[in-house]
Amino acid sequence: MKYILNELQDKTTNNFKINNLEIDLDLPIVTDLTNYEISNNNLLIKQEIINKPITSKIGLEEKKYLQVTITIPKGKIVKEPIILTHNNNLISNIKFIFEENSSANFIIKYKTTDKNNYYNYIKEEAISKDNSNGSITYINTMNSNSINMLAVENKLEENSKITHNIIDIGGNIRLYNIDSDVEGYQAENYINNIYIGKEDNIIDINYNLKNIGKKTINKLIVEGSLNDTAKKNFRGIIDFKEGATASIGEENENCVLLSDTCRTRSLPALLCHEEDVVGAHGESSGKISKEKLFYLMSRGYSQKNAEKLIIIANFNTIINKINDEETKEEILDEINKII
């Protein structure tokens, strides 16, 4: 079936061919919504199967899903990471509610147990209330026959902070759409994203980050690599709304191309309705410089290992932001297998 997904809210000229993703998908019917585990958890978490449609800004509707509601109570500080794991197919809506002065670190891992075709669809809704601090990490290591979709809609209130780490290194077709409303005074929103594309992977990324309140911060860092005939679209919009005085918005994407047949399209953009702001965006894509390769190869590395070393060095700037040493090691092991 043909779908039009991940539509850009503020359209560009059609010549860029990046306003949306038109794609044929054969989505499986997911019946088992119970393959979900939560560890290191001392919170009250509500789970239920919902039999009604769910939509997200990816533009895809599902008719049945697992609803997971997680509330971090007012003033509660959770030091150990709470890990949510599931295998194979799952359609879920995760609601994070960080109450006032609370703090917690969540790690969501999704993977496959064999080489069959699987489908993962997560919609996240996060509310970060006054003076709360939340960290949410997604780790996708699904097999190369799978489809993965992630949609995030979050709202930040006064003096709150939320960090998303998206480690997207598995699956064949991968879409994600992150929509953030940074509303509260001095609220801070940080997003760190790694992607790896290989074979005939399709990766489609859509960020819409809005500075709404005074002295708010939006910062986006994206590091990726593409090989073989992989294709990637990146849209990153930082939007300074009227009233967002003394706010900061920054985005930077770096994509390493490891073949002559992969393809990347990127559209970083700043929209500004306020004068007293600081905005910056940057995008770079291309092959690893010959000087860097020569330097490493002259010290005994093969070209393949030199390329791997450089890419992992790029990724480490993001991996080091994850607040769990065991998870960092798992990610590095998976990246070493893929590259």
What would the pLDDT profile of 108-166 be if each residue is shown by its tens digit?
999 999 999 999 999 999 999 999 999 999 999 999 999 999 999 999 999 999 999 99
pLDDT of residue 290: 83
Q: What is the mean pLDDT of residues 64-71?
A: 94
Q: Which residues contact 186 (CB under 8 A, 6 or more apart)?
A: 158, 159, 213, 214, 215, 216
d(CA 170, CA 13): 31
Is residue 308 included in any domain, yes or no?
no
Instruction: Report residue 205 as tokens.
Output: 């990324």
Residue 112 placed within a domain: yes
Answer for the pair 226, 197: CB distance below 8 angstroms, yes or no. yes
Higher pLDDT, residue 12 or 185 = 185
Is residue 272 included in any domain, yes or no? yes
In a domain, 13, yes or no: no
- Whole-number pLDDT of residue 13: 64
| Residue in 165, 209, 259, 202 with CA at minimum distance from that of residue 9 | 209
Mean pLDDT for the chain overall: 92
- Whether 251 is in a domain gets the answer yes
Band (pLDDT 50/70/90 cuts) for residue 304 is: confident
- For residue 312, is it within any domain? no
Token pair of 109 as six digits: 């891992």
Closest to 209 measured CA to CA, from 164, 179, 171, 244: 179
What angle, rounded to 10 degrees, do the helices at 303-319 and 325-338 form?
Answer: 150
Residue 307 lies in a domain: no
Q: Is residue 76 part of a domain?
A: yes
Q: How many domains does the chain have?
A: 1
How far apart (Å, rounded) are the C-alpha atoms in residues 156 and 114?
39
Q: What is the pLDDT of residues 235-248, one digit of tens each?
A: 999 999 999 999 99
Q: Which domain holds residue 44?
A: 27-289
Model confidence at 8, pLDDT cuts 50, 70, 90, reads confident
Is the separation of the CB atoms in 182 and 190 below 8 Å? no
Specify the pLDDT at position 190.
98
Closest alpha carbon to 33 in 9, 64, 12: 64
- Specify the pTM: 0.95
